[in-house]
Structure 1
Amino acid sequence: MSRFSNHDPDSSSSSSPSADDLDSDHGVGLSNPLLSQGRRRMLDLVNRLHNTGVQIDIDLPQIAVIGSQSAGKSSLIESISGISLPRAAGTCTRCPTECRLARSDAPWKCIVELRFITDKNGQTLGQARNESFGDPIFSKSEVEDRIRRAQRAILNPSKASRNFLDDDDEEVPEVSFSTNYISLQISGPEVADLSFVDLPGLIASVSRGGNERDIAMVESLVTSYICKPSCVILLTVACETDFENQGAHHLTKKYDPEGKRTIGVLTKPDRIPRGDEESWLPLIRNEQEVLENNWYCVKQPSSQDLKQGITWEEARSRENDFFSMTAPWSELDPMYQKYLRTTNLVDRLSSILSDLISKRLPQIQIELENTIQKTRTGLQQLPKPPSSDAVGEIATLLHVFVADLHKLLEGVPNAEGLLQVIRPAQERFRRDIRNTAPDFRPFKERWSPEAPTPFQEPQFLSNEDGYEDSAGQLPPTAKIPIYINEVMDRALAARTRELPGHYPFVVQKSFIVEFTAKWASPAQVLCRVVHTTLSQHVKALITHHFSSFGQGGLEQRVTILVQDYMNQRALATQDLISKLIALEEDGPLTLNEHYLADYKSKFMSYYKGAREKIQNPVLATAIEAYRPEQPLPTDPYGNQIPLTGIAQVLSSLASVGLSGVHAEDLVKLLSPDRMDPALNIMSDVRAYFQVAYKRIADNIPLAIDRELVRGVGRELLPALYSGLGMNGTDGVRICHELAQESPSVAGKREELLKRLERLETASRELVRVGL
């Protein structure tokens, strides 16, 4: 039996039907079938949208009843919906109770479900879990008890919900409040399509029956509803308590500061202390705490009335009598009388909610389309779902990866490409090898005053090596100079049975061995740098191809296998480098005799010229000043003036058949220098360095490129197949294990698919009604 009726559940009243009888000719409040067809169509649509669950993603119009503890919220819901909720002293609502009303031609029915959004430990679930709570209810008198039991099930999350359908043991609940909620799906001929929710009462302080955690939880729960712009807030304020002490009003002001979507409801006006009634009238006249939709005042049955089984008709009649005969309510101007009584409140609420729905529907359609597109984009950004052919899928991934790896190794036209990134290291290697050149000085010891400072290497080297400074000169190095007297001393010390003026080739060889011994270190450094850079690029490529596949196992396995393969190639490359260096260290050898002879001639001329600057400065200055490209001098009458100086000497030599002589070669015509043997050794060694250094500067990078860079791409695919075990007897099982999608990606995909299903279902509902 409902608290509003002592009659049979199927009985009816001609004027004000009971909560147990919605089969009469007139519904209650929003259930009134006399609402316009357009309004009902919109309410039907919003209710169907709620049924799709799209309110998780889109802000749908909804009524939320809030207030402090025992503020009369449950009575308001009964007036609005026509159903009875549990009632008790203090806090009786300890979890949200959502009501989904749906008009139907079938007999009245109520389905109770439990909606879990957190687990028993309070952790948020990825997807809400719905549980049916008992069989459908066909008698309204059973609803209150079922809701009470459902709330006990919500507040005891570690126990099976079905146990509470028949268990009458009122034990202490495991939690005081819960964000999990009860959902009532009510349908019948006189039920309007509407959704609203009754929220737990805000707790004023610990002394009022809660603790700090409960106070914060309830406030957070209420906030999660009323912060939404399409939530119509029914703010209940009990007149038996000072207005300023009611926290629900302050919370409402925070989220609806202009009062555009709040309807204030004063309850329990019969409990106002005598003489204080006038203090509440400014609210009804909207002179205090102004709300766009005004304040209302209602009087609901007392607990004693309910125990006596007051009917709905009697309740409304007593409410009418109270406001008609009790001052100061009865003395209000007629324009304010419409803000008194429950019927006026629910009629106004119907209009407000309908207007809100009418305004929101076009926006809802836009938000739906935008959210659908965003969800589809999110799905597209996820990796492809696992294929039923795991072996084929992994094989395809490996082939595509190896193909992209070959492109990387061959070179891509990008500043961040592998070959572009390792080129500076190759240039550093060439400079390091170039800097091992012996720094011969054609002068005596370093303290000799005749030695020029600084000593620059010859200009012809800058034209070939490309390391000249802004002045076109090779920069001086920090190498230890080797002076001509040191070379001569070594040559003299090496003589055995040679004829006078002859020196063994071992002298040149000793200098050559000294600089070739320095080549191993920069060569191995280059190998390590290329290996590190290559590893970084390959690792990034592996991540790009495999990171979103499976649970990361394939990426990890491929990374290990490729790193092992690269390490093998690096060892092979180091061995080849060692062999190439050993070839140079075993002794000098070249078949490029012309190249060697040309360099020896140039160095001999350069060293002798440098000595002649000191020993024969006049000739050295004339050679430096000579410019063969200058035209022959003429007198004022255009006659050529006879040649003089270096030009005359070269012309004379050409006349006797020595046309290939250059100005710098003239120093060779001077009388023998006692240091000529040392100059010959220096020229030999320096010429051979130019041959050997350019050879090694090419061969080492070539070896690294072939054995390490390109070598990684050779035979890698078979190595991956073998390493992964794809060709073995367990290949299918291994591939299935590797193809498993990671829980995070799978969960994200499931969440997006469910969201897309909700959104598309809601979108179809809008299309179906022509919106």
Structure 2
Amino acid sequence: MSMSSKQKHLRCTMSPRDSKKLEEISSSLNQHYEDKVRPCIDLVDSLRSLGVEKDLSLPAIAVIGDQSSGKSSVLEALSGVALPRGTGIVTRCPLVLKLKRVEAGVAWSGILSYQGQLKILQKPEDVGHAVSNAQVALAGQGKGISHEMIALEIKSSNVPDLTLIDLPGIARVATGDQPVDIEKQIKDLIEKFIKRQETISLVVVPANIDIATTEALKMASKVDPHGQRTLGILTKPDLVDKGAEETVVSTVNNQVIPLKKGYMMVKCRGQQDINANLSLAKALQNERDFFEQHPHFRPLLEEEKATVPLLAQRLTKELVEHIGRSLPHLKNQIEKKLDGTAMKLKQLGEGVPQEENDKKNFLIEKINAFNQVLADVMRAEEDIKNSDTRVFTKIRDEFGKWKAQLDKKTNTFEENLRDEVEEYTRIRRGKELPGFINYRTFENIVRKHVEELEEPALKLLRDITDIVHSSLNDIANPNFEAYPNLLRAAKEPIEDLREQEYEKAKERVRAQFKMERMVYSQDGLYSWKLEAVKMKPETARPFLTKVISADVREMAQHLRAYFSITSDRLANQVPLIVQYHVLHQYIAQLQTAMLAIIGEKDAVKLIQEDSDLARRRVLARERLERLRRARQVLSKFVHSAS
């Protein structure tokens, strides 16, 4: 038994005094419910009226259905007004239907708005004509559609607190003067709304057809495969063939194509009812009589799965709960969009001043700001976003890889040392007795291994040059994005100096390896290192335990001592050369080149703005203001709710 049925039963068995008390309690509960419902819906309506949907998705219920599914009739029954009717595509623009319930006795009122235009509606009969005119203004006289939205706000004591978005009915084939791709156009428009996680899809389907064949339900299933955000509405139950009623009941009971939110059934005015001037109020009474008297569908009414009034209650509940769940994400999205827009506006700047002197100062400020960022990069102190890494941190990682490569080379060197020494002594050994070192052999082995490190060192130089070059471009782009001429002027030294400092560093790295072929170390340092090698247990170096001849053993110890010194030297010297040229000198020369731009003739022409920059700045400012107001509205709501 439904709540309303229970209340009726109680009233029949209560005294007048108790019955009156129940009415008071019921009225109090309804008022409490409305006090919670209306602010939630008003919040989203306010955000939508601010235009926030241009920036992020808002919680909504979108009404979709195939042509002639009864979608318009459902909306008429909910709103109490006659919307445009006819054959083919009737809804040609998204229609935001805002229903606001007022106290009994308050006069009906309506407001239609689109593209900044506002029309006050005096009576319900004015709605259909006003919506048709708005659609013509937005979508033209033909049968095309438009993505521009029309907002219709209705205040009445006979409507629920609810906001719906009515979308065009799905056309299968273009007819008459419709565009040949009308089906695709409509589906693209519908999908734009229902693919959003913030949207509940209200799918309207005639009860007298196979629900699995409806295009609207297929579209909803595509973007919501588990039916989490989909509610099905079956219409035209009076047209169901005899014998098919149980299948329809099974559908409404979620046993055919299950949806998380399930199904409801309604019976609205048909064309014959409209021709007979059947009022909406009378139609609602006829609907209730139909379900109460129907042997198969009556249980649906008792389970609150049928009639327009129960649908209105269900939709209001669904919308309010959906808004409540969406608020934390909505708040985060607004903050994220605000930060992004503020950053974008900062990049676009305030605009170039008009006075010549002011223009010169403006140019100086821009270049000084850029040079300051470069200085911060050089000192490894630049500001970075959470997902970014400082330039020197990237360089340090590459230097670490270079040291690891040297260590690996040392290990490989030791592993192959026995064979190399034996080979050299077998082929090149002179008159010396065993245990004496052939210095030429020692030099040749050292030089061979040092030469193998030159190409990895040059690769290190190339990699770090690319890192710094890419980073400088990443700095220049946002700093000078608004001024293409200045950006081009900055890119020239970035490219030229890159090549210049790379070649200088390359020459010095090669010179370093030429010097390494000389084979040199301080006597004291070498003696200390050699002693350390000799003191190390041979078990720590398995290859030496297999060495038999004294000269091979002696040569191996000397080579290991010297290569350890060389490796330590290269581990520091190569990074110093690379860092000096492709970080410090590159940036210092670039700073000088940027300052030189200021003194050039007609330098102020470099800050001429991009042709559409002013438009982008205006749009960014509008978005920033829109989002700030949205944050205020949301904060006010959260504060009042708490």
Q: Which amino acid aligns with 2:111?
A: I
Equivalence map 1:549-628=2 (5 Å) = 549=480, 550-557=482-489
Deviations 1:362-415 (A, max 9, x none): 4433443344344445545x2533353322111344567789999999xxx989
Residue 120 of structure 2 aligns to a residue whose secondary structure is coil
Contact persistence 2:264–2:305 (CA under 8 A) = yes
Say if 1:47 and 1:194, in contact at 8 Å, map to a contact too.
no
**Match of residue 359, structure 2, among 370, 390, 403:** 390
SS of 1:112 mapped into structure 2: strand
| 1:45 paired residue number | 43
For residues 76-475 of structure 1, the aligned pairs below 5 Å read: 76-101=74-99, 108-114=108-114, 130-132=115-117, 135-156=119-140, 173=142, 176-187=144-155, 194-205=162-173, 213-330=181-298, 332=299, 335-336=302-303, 338-380=304-346, 382=347, 384-388=349-353, 389-398=358-367, 469-470=443-444
The correspondence for 2:53, drawn from 52, 55, 67, is 55
Task: Specify the SS of the correspondent of 1:113.
Answer: strand
Secondary structure (helix, strand or coil) at the match of 1:345 reads helix
AA aligned to 1:724 is: K
- Unaligned 5+ runs, structure 1: 1-31, 115-129, 157-170, 418-467, 475-532, 570-707, 727-734
CA gap 1:190/1:312 in 2 versus in 1, 3 angstroms: closer
The aligned residue for residue 607 of structure 2 is 739
- For 2:413, the equivalent position in structure 1 comes to none
Structure 2 letter corresponding to 1:725: D
Total equivalences in the alignment: 461
**Contact 2:203-2:216 at 8 Å conserved across structures:** yes
Say what the alpha-carbon RMSD is for the aligned residues. 5.0
The secondary structure found in structure 1 opposite 2:164 is: strand
CA distance in 1, matches of 2:186, 2:262: 26
Q: After TM superposition, give the deviation of residue 315 of structure 1 in Å.
A: 0.9
* Cα distance in 1 between the residues matched to 2:76 and 2:182: 26
2:291 and 2:250 map into 1 onto residues whose CA distance is 16
SS of residue in 2 equivalent to 1:87:
coil
Work out the percentage of aligned pairs sharing the same amino acid: 26
SS at match of 1:110: strand
Letter in 1 for 2:362: E
The answer as to whether partners of 1:47 and 1:101 remain within 8 angstroms in 2 is no
Shift in Å, 1:73: 0.6
Question: Cα–Cα, structure 1 residues 40 and 559, in superposed 2: closer, same or farther, change >3 Å?
Answer: closer
For residue 762 of structure 1, what is the amino acid of its counterpart? Answer: A
Task: For 2:77 and 2:158, locate their aligned partners in 1 and report how far apart those are by CA, in whole Å.
Answer: 15
**Within 2, Cα distance between the matches of 1:322 and 1:360?**
38
Contact 1:44 1:102 in 2 (8 A): no
Gaps of 5+ in 2: 1-29, 379-390, 396-441, 449-463, 501-584
Residue pair 1:111, 1:137 contacting (<8 A) in 2 also: yes
SS at match of 2:121: coil
**Cα distance in 1, alignment partners of residues 137 and 38 from structure 2:** 35
Q: Secondary structure at the match of 1:724?
A: coil
Write out per-residue CA displacement over residues 138-182 of structure 1, whole angstroms, 9 at most, x where no aligned residue: 2221111011111122222xxxxxxxxxxxxxx5x1x62332232
Q: Helix, strand or coil: the match of 1:765?
A: helix
For 1:729-763, what per-residue CA distance to the aligned partner results, in whole angstroms no more than 9, with x for missing partners? Answer: xxxxxx3x533433566555544443333332222
The alpha-carbon deviation at position 249 of structure 1 amounts to 1.5
- Contact kept, 8 Å, 1:542 with 1:555, in 2: the verdict is no
Structure 2 counterparts to residues 620-639 of structure 1, below 5 A = none
Does structure 2 retain, via aligned residues, the 8 Å contact 1:50–1:195? no
Bigger radius of gyration among the two: 1
Residue correspondence of structure 1 range 648-663 to structure 2 within 5 A: none
Give the drift of 1:198. Answer: 0.8
**Who is 1:625 aligned against?**
none
Match of 2:635 in 1: 767
1:641-674, Cα deviation, whole Å (9 max, x unpaired): xxxxxxxxxxxxxxxxxxxxxxxxxxxxxxxxxx
1:486-505 counterparts in 2 under 5 A?
none
* 2:129 aligned partner, one-letter code: D
Judged with a 3 Å threshold, the aligned counterparts in structure 2 of structure 1 residues 76 and 565 are, in CA distance, closer, same or farther, namely closer
Scaled by the length of structure 1, the TM-score of the pair is 0.50
TM-score (norm. length: structure 2): 0.59
**1: distance between equivalents of 2:112 and 2:220?**
30
Q: Structure 1, residues 579-631: CA drift from partner, whole Å, max 9, x if none?
A: xxxxxxxxxxxxxxxxxxxxxxxxxxxxxxxxxxxxxxxxxxxxxxxxxxxxx
User: What is the distance in 2 between the residues matched to 1:362 and 1:224?
Assistant: 23
